[in-house]
Amino acid sequence: MNNKDVQSWPDSVQGFSPGTKGRKKGPGNFSSDLRPREKCGIFAVYNYRQPDKTALITYLGLLALQHRGQESAGMAFVSPEGLQCIKGMGLVDNVFSRRILNSIRAATVLGHIRYSTTGTSIPTNAQPLVARSFDKKGIALAHNGNLTNTRSLHDRQLREGQIFHTTSDTEILLSYLFRYRRQGLVQAAVKAIEIVRGAYAAVVINEDRVVAFRDPGGYRPLVIGLLDQAYVFASETAALDTVGADFVREVEPGEIICAGPDGIESVHVRQAGAKPSLCIFEYIYFARPDSVIDGQSVHLARKTVGSLLARRIPTLPDMVIPSPDSGVSAAIGLAEALNLPLEWAVHRNPYLGRTFIAPTRDERELAVRLKFNPIKELIRGKKVAVVDDSLVRGTTARILTSMLKSAGAAEVHLCIASPPYKNPCYYGIDIPVAAELAALDTDFKKLAENIGAASLTFSEPEDLYSALGKDQSKYCTACFSGDY
């Protein structure tokens, strides 16, 4: 599918709910319109031998994944009273106090942090989502991604008598898992994968087991770890490192992993037409630099892309400046390749990173000015290369360039460690509508002038593939190529 087909995309453009276009921001949305945002983070622990510590471990794992979502946080767990869930709006440490963590005694805990791309930012959409039957037994689901056949499945389930309590596509996935749960959680996951379409990594728990699975294309990452003989599932390896768990392996695309009383079980589901489609933006921006995805260090991949930018920049600057904090790894690579000093010449105020900013242009610009401040003594009279991971609307680039020039920079050269972002995403990333994307203007000289920069240099797609050591066929690159 290419750009001309976007208007006929069957479900995801219409959306199951109000979605992101025109969405009013609630108190859990933090500067979300400045950058693309990934949907969620998942962390789960199965059968930990110290039940009074499992919630704390999950809390630490969610803190390590906080960059993947700041709207809401939650935990589901199995207690003597049955399946329980605690969740709320805001950051992990706002939702879970020490008192709450100490009150949870459970060997198995499923945690989730959320940034909404389908469904509004309201408490009922916070995850994990729980479904219970009359016997008080049930399942809890945490989901990262976006279903693309949401509308048709939603309408079908309404006709079948399904009642929905949220505006999230996660509830559709939950309803199928709950419907088929009596066949066993693994078989329920098989049935669900056969029905739903889109990008997802998910973990579901019941009273005695945890089941983790990825869509057949593997758009979203999910890994397995081991902590004191307890299995751990997480969206990124950095979360395993945080809690001291050993990395075992990744959940493979289309694979269902079940951790239960009899050990580990693995089942693969094939889907016609599915091909490897890991979201390449995980390497560019979403994942923490200290994570490893598909065997590749995120930091080293970004650093290599930065070094390849050295071939493309049209001038030799006096110094390289990373755009805090997303441009750091690529900036290191560019500085080393050009044998230039890397200067931390833009200070980022760490206390404003989560400040609520409404999504108007004036407020987005204010957010940047509040967050960044250049060090004039380093910049004055210098030609500087500013490195950032991507250029979406161009708000940050324009304001940062203006600030650097006001601080005395002789020239500001923007270096973007990814190709031009030209297409919206339908697989669980909150991207502005196409008309708002800065790189739609393919005259990059004119775009640089509009931003106020002396030059604007993008990485090429082959730079990314070279840095990752794999070809394009392994990744979803729709945001650059338009091939969905």
**Spatial contact of 468 and 296, defined as CB atoms under 8 Å apart:** yes
pLDDT band at 394 (very low <50, low <70, confident <90, very high): confident
pLDDT band at 23 (very low <50, low <70, confident <90, very high): very low
Share of the chain above pLDDT 70, in %: 86
CA-CA distance, 240 to 476, in Å (whole number)? Answer: 25
Q: Specify the CATH number for the domain of residue 453.
A: 3.40.50.2020
271 and 304 inside one domain: no
258 and 304 inside one domain: no
- Of 305, 275, 326, nearest to 460 by C-alpha is 305
* CA distance to 63, 264, 284, per residue, from 44 (Å): 13, 15, 25
Q: Specify the CATH number for the domain of residue 73.
A: 3.60.20.10
388 falls within a domain: yes
- Between 85 and 441, the more confident residue is 85
Identify the residue whose tokens are 């996660």. 170
Of the given ranges (66-75, 232-241, 417-426), which has the lowest mean pLDDT? Answer: 417-426
CA-CA distance, 432 to 434, in Å (whole number)? Answer: 6
Q: How far apart are the first and last CA of the chain?
A: 5
pLDDT band at 81 (very low <50, low <70, confident <90, very high): confident
Alpha-helix residue ranges (DSSP H) falling in 429-477: 444-451, 461-468
Of the given ranges (14-23, 142-151, 457-466), which has the lowest mean pLDDT? Answer: 14-23
Average pLDDT over residues 411-440: 78
479 falls within a domain: no
pLDDT band at 119 (very low <50, low <70, confident <90, very high): low
164 and 17 inside one domain: yes
**Beta-carbon contacts of residue 447 (< 8 Å; ≥ 6 apart):** 394, 438, 439, 441, 456
Share of the chain above pLDDT 90, in %: 63
**Angle subtended at Cα 426 by Cα 425 and Cα 428, rounded to the nearest 5 degrees:** 90
352 falls within a domain: yes
What's the pTM value of the predicted model, to 2 decimals?
A: 0.87
Of the given ranges (231-245, 348-362, 378-392, 422-436), which has the lowest mean pLDDT? Answer: 348-362
Identify the residue whose tokens are 């039940």. 51
Q: What's the confidence (pLDDT) of residue 2?
A: 41
- Between 151 and 59, the more confident residue is 59
225 and 311 inside one domain: no
Q: What's the confidence (pLDDT) of residue 3?
A: 38
Average pLDDT over residues 109-124: 78
CA-CA distance, 316 to 454, in Å (whole number)? Answer: 12
Number of domains in the chain: 2
Instruction: Decide if pLDDT at 390 tops 70.
Output: yes
84 CB-contact burial (10 Å; exposed 0-12 / middle 13-18 / buried 19+): middle
Residue 363 phi/psi, 5-degree rounding, is: -75, -30
84 and 153 inside one domain: yes
Structure tokens at 210: 């945890």
Q: What's the confidence (pLDDT) of residue 1?
A: 39
**Spatial contact of 273 and 301, defined as CB atoms under 8 Å apart:** no
319 and 257 inside one domain: no
Residue-wise pLDDT for 288-324, tens only, equals 999 999 999 999 999 999 999 999 999 999 999 999 8
- What mean pLDDT value characterizes the chain? 86
301 and 401 inside one domain: yes
Q: What's the confidence (pLDDT) of residue 365?
A: 67
**Beta-carbon contacts of residue 277 (< 8 Å; ≥ 6 apart):** 199, 217, 218, 219, 253, 475, 476
Q: What's the confidence (pLDDT) of residue 11?
A: 44
Catalytic: which of 40, 258, 415, 425?
Answer: 40
- Which residue range forms the structural domain that includes residue 451? 297-469
162 falls within a domain: yes
Average pLDDT over residues 325-340: 95
Instruction: Decide if pLDDT at 278 tops 90.
Output: yes
Q: What's the confidence (pLDDT) of residue 107?
A: 97
165 CB-contact burial (10 Å; exposed 0-12 / middle 13-18 / buried 19+): exposed
Identify the residue whose tokens are 């329920």. 188
267 and 370 inside one domain: no
Instruction: Decide if pLDDT at 243 tops 70.
Output: yes
Identify the residue whose tokens are 């760490």. 350
Structure tokens at 214: 């990825």
**Beta-carbon contacts of residue 210 (< 8 Å; ≥ 6 apart):** 44, 46, 108, 110, 203, 204, 231, 233, 258, 259, 260
**Spatial contact of 89 and 74, defined as CB atoms under 8 Å apart:** no
- Of 212, 156, 146, nearest to 185 by C-alpha is 212
Identify the residue whose tokens are 């920079």. 409
285 falls within a domain: no
DSSP 322-354: EPTTTTHHHHHHHHHHHT--B---EEE-TTSTT
pLDDT band at 430 (very low <50, low <70, confident <90, very high): low
Average pLDDT over residues 161-174: 86
CA-CA distance, 5 to 426, in Å (whole number)? Answer: 13
Instruction: Decide if pLDDT at 195 tops 80.
Output: yes
As beta bridge partners, residue 263 has 260
Distance of CA 344 to the CA centre of its chain: 26
445 CB-contact burial (10 Å; exposed 0-12 / middle 13-18 / buried 19+): exposed
Q: What's the confidence (pLDDT) of residue 297?
A: 97
292 falls within a domain: no
Q: What's the confidence (pLDDT) of residue 6?
A: 32
Instruction: Decide if pLDDT at 9 tops 50.
Output: no
Final residue of a structural domain among 213, 244, 275 = 275
Beta-sheet pairing, 210-214 with 198-205: antiparallel
- 40 noted as active-site residue: yes
137 and 188 inside one domain: yes
260 and 315 inside one domain: no
* CA distance to 48, 284, 286, 304, 387, per residue, from 441 (Å): 53, 21, 25, 27, 20
Residue-wise pLDDT for 128-163, tens only, equals 999 988 777 899 999 998 888 888 888 888 888 888
